[in-house]
Chain A
């Protein structure tokens, strides 16, 4: 098909699809969500898990397996990217050095990012945020120096070790429930008093594990893609 004919055809179909989706969403009771399950969870989340952040309760307790799956997806993506990029021989990551402002700010930003990330991870079950959001910030923390000094070699050693253990901890906590005859990923260590730091039993531990794993994985992933060479500068036109 010629280029523009295809564009026109797809535009036509898109408009059709859009109209249908809109009329469909009209039928949806917006604002009045049936809350079949949500209402029950909102009601009992506190005394079940002790976490004041109900979303974290849902994430780690009620739908713990989703989160495990999610971490696994990130891990799979990282491994697959590693496999695809291989990159053993990509030592000399050439690239223009970053501007002065970035280099100076990078050194300054690093500690703040670390603190902020750690805080969000640790307070995951109390205040909004949690393992994933904190992990992302931690990853940014480790990635900023790389942006500042693209030539500096990146050692994956530490990252993989952290990654491996964090993932293992998550699954072991899950299996611990199993050993005691209960179900997989049962919230352990009691609910504790709501509101203070060491409450909601094993949830913070899980979030810590997630935070570390996500942080190290994302950092490793971004480093590997950067090391593989910027597609724009890779010889030949886009």
Chain B
């Protein structure tokens, strides 16, 4: 394996690890749900990068057969399977992200804030203490929450 392939490998893995760490930091530390969703995206891209890197072969070409269309002619090929997996993983990421954003919109409407502690406290109060939350009494999505801003008890 030539020197640059070695360096490329290191760079790829280092990149993947950095993305994963950034993603995790983005999910754990911030208080705003939107930032956590974005952290999630970073994390998933890091994992996808690692997944692709797992199939890389230094002296191999991309798994597309050109003109003479014979297997032997094209020489050693990079492992196609991880590339297929990554495609699926990316689409999964998109799907989950879309649903996440939809929920973020709804939470913002329902509670007027995206701060995890505030949402957690109001949710607990809504289901825990307030037995009146029966199916019939569901709050229609459109209704504006009573206290729009951050109130005292939302502190962590």
Contacts and interface: CB of A to CB of B under 8 A. Distances in A.
Contacts of B156: 1, 3
A21 B53 contact: no
Interface residues of A, number: 68
Given A21-B17, A22-B17, A33 B79 contact: yes
B142 interface: yes
A70 B91 contact: yes
Interface residues of B, number: 70
B148 A25 contact: no
Contact of B149 (A14, A218, A229, A236): A236
Contacts of B28: 6, 10, 14
Given A33-B79, A235-B148, A132 B87 contact: yes
Interface string A80-97: 110011100100000000
B101 A38 contact: no
Contacts of B38: none
A52 B65 contact: yes
Contacts of B24: 10, 14, 17
Interface stretch (A71-79, A112-120, A168-176, A178-186): A71-79
A54 B65 contact: yes
Interface in A31-51: 31-33, 35, 37-39, 41-46
A74 B63 contact: no
Given A85-B102, A194-B65, A70 B109 contact: no
Contacts of B99: 77, 80-81, 84
Interface in A123-179: 127-128, 132
Contacts of A53: 63-65
A30 B9 contact: yes
Interface in A182-198: 194-195
Contacts of B16: 25
A10 B36 CA distance: 14
Interface in B94-120: 94-96, 98-99, 101-106, 108-109, 112-114
A66 B90 CA distance: 13
B69 A195 contact: yes
| Across the A-B interface, the 10 shortest Cβ-Cβ residue pairs | A38-B79, A77-B95, A30-B9, A31-B58, A54-B63, A81-B102, A194-B69, A58-B84, A10-B28, A52-B65
30 contacts: A6-B29, A10-B28, A14-B28, A18-B18, A21-B17, A30-B9, A30-B10, A31-B1, A31-B57, A35-B79, A39-B79, A45-B71, A46-B69, A53-B65, A54-B64, A55-B80, A55-B83, A58-B80, A59-B87, A63-B84, A77-B95, A84-B103, A132-B91, A194-B65, A214-B91, A221-B98, A231-B105, A234-B105, A235-B112, A236-B148
Given A70-B92, A234-B105, A238-B32, 17 more contacts: A17-B24, A18-B18, A30-B10, A32-B57, A35-B57, A46-B69, A46-B71, A52-B64, A52-B66, A58-B81, A70-B88, A77-B95, A231-B105, A234-B108, A236-B108, A236-B149, A238-B34
